[in-house]
Structure 1
Amino acid sequence: MSLSVIELKKLRQQLRTQRRQLNKFQQKQAEAALLHHLIQHPQFKHSQKIGLYLDAFGEIQTHQIIQRCFDLGKTVYLPQISTMMFGLSWVKVSQQQWKTRRFSLHQLGMLEPKQRGCRVQQLDLLILPLLACDEHGTRLGMGGGFYDRALQYAPKHPYRLGIAHAFQYLNQPLIRQTWDQPLHALCTPKQSYLFKN
């Protein structure tokens, strides 16, 4: 049985709190363990254009993941909130820009690149943050709907891989709305999951 709207609101608050309570050492450990699973994922191995994100709210950190992408010669794209209906665009960033952290602070509290971006269908692989994911690949985001909108209007979708702390994977099903974009797979520090979409 799916969670009710009230239960979903409580779950969001609980997971946000749980993420924020992780200290820097725990976050670094989680990212390193998750990276071990991620680099073995066939889709990661074969993808060249990879969309990632800059962590800001307790999500799995992406510093090591982004650096590994550059080390492997992959092209990194970071999200930028778009004023258009697509929600997000993805900006190709150079290793130099990444190292010098030349990003702007968005009013919602996260850093983003300021150059012109492309639409999500240009990516091979999209690595998404999340608050929760169930055993069917239903993703619960932060509530803004940016990723869902970007994917909803795309003529072609990249492979969607969520990354999260182990406690964010739920055995109980989440409510999937018509606009929700399910994941193909999820990586946590403990293991990876594949979903049938």
Structure 2
Amino acid sequence: MDKYLKRQSIRDNVRMQRRMLTKKQQYQYAKMLALRALKDKRIQRANKLAIFLSFDNEINTNLLINMLWKETKIVYLPVLHPFAPGHLLFMQYNPNTPLVINRLNIYEPQLDVTTLLLLNQLDICFIPLVAFDNYGNRLGMGGGFYDRMLYSWYTGEFTFCPIGLAYDCQYQTEAIPTEKWDIPLPEVITPSCHWHWNIALK
């Protein structure tokens, strides 16, 4: 099987496993992940954190978002860049933030430049993923949005800490076939584990 087909097969298999989780399991795992995340010292110290609203049966981030608000953290959500295709902006998100559905059918804050976050001000970026392996390799949906952002971290342009969020079933025991643009994650949090890898930055 060639690399493209292997990557797509992993995506299909993991997405199927996520769909098979019951509502009760989804809630239990989301709560376990949120509690695990808030035990982390770096996350406790952080002030400005970017996160995502769950899509396509990703682990539910609403519990974690609400816990971050209770800890008086400033939370941001990704917005598709209106002028730079393939890039993201981050807007502040609170319980009163109006949301719209973007062209990918994902909820995002209504564009408002007054709440725009500059990436050099970001402390933590929680990153969605389809699958990850024992080396920190991340397989996304294929759009490249977070690959571009991770590259800016990898090259030292920005100093935020990227942390993947996933179910345990998204872990792959075999190495994920990678492309030249793929950047491994330094951390992934699942309901049962907080994974760390030493990623050598450029």
TM-score (norm 2): 0.87
Matches within 5 A, 1:1-197: 4-82=3-81, 83-84=83-84, 87-97=87-97, 102-114=98-110, 115-116=112-113, 117-153=116-152, 155-197=157-199
In the alignment, is the contact (CA less than 8 A) between 1:130 and 1:141 conserved in 2?
A: yes
Q: Deviations over 1:44-70 (max 9, x none)?
A: 111111000011211110111000111
* d(CA) in 2 for partners of 1:153, 1:44: 20
Out of 159-168 and 36-45, give the one that drifted further.
Answer: 36-45
Superposition deviation, residue 25 in structure 1: 1.7
In the alignment, is the contact (CA less than 8 A) between 1:30 and 1:189 conserved in 2?
A: yes
Letter in 2 for 1:4: K
Letter in 1 for 2:171: Y
In the alignment, is the contact (CA less than 8 A) between 1:49 and 1:76 conserved in 2?
A: yes
* d(CA) in 2 for partners of 1:175, 1:119: 32
* d(CA) in 2 for partners of 1:85, 1:121: 21
Count of paired positions: 191
In the alignment, is the contact (CA less than 8 A) between 1:130 and 1:163 conserved in 2?
A: yes
In the alignment, is the contact (CA less than 8 A) between 2:86 and 2:143 conserved in 1?
A: no
Q: Secondary structure at the match of 1:7?
A: helix
Unpaired stretches in structure 1, ≥5 consecutive residues: none
Superposition deviation, residue 119 in structure 1: 4.1
How many percent of aligned residue pairs carry the same amino acid?
29
* d(CA) in 1 for partners of 2:119, 2:177: 24
* d(CA) in 2 for partners of 1:159, 1:86: 21
Letter in 2 for 1:184: P
* d(CA) in 2 for partners of 1:44, 1:176: 28
Q: Secondary structure at the match of 1:38?
A: helix
TM-score (norm 1): 0.90
Out of 173-182 and 132-141, give the one that drifted further.
Answer: 173-182
Letter in 2 for 1:103: L
Root-mean-square deviation (CA, aligned residues, Å) is 1.7
Out of 153-162 and 181-190, give the one that drifted further.
Answer: 153-162
Q: Secondary structure at the match of 1:76?
A: strand
Superposition deviation, residue 86 in structure 1: 6.1
Superposition deviation, residue 149 in structure 1: 1.5
Change (3 A) 1:104 1:190: same
Out of 36-45 and 145-154, give the one that drifted further.
Answer: 145-154
In the alignment, is the contact (CA less than 8 A) between 2:150 and 2:162 conserved in 1?
A: no
In the alignment, is the contact (CA less than 8 A) between 2:31 and 2:63 conserved in 1?
A: yes
In the alignment, is the contact (CA less than 8 A) between 2:52 and 2:127 conserved in 1?
A: yes
Change (3 A) 1:151 1:120: farther
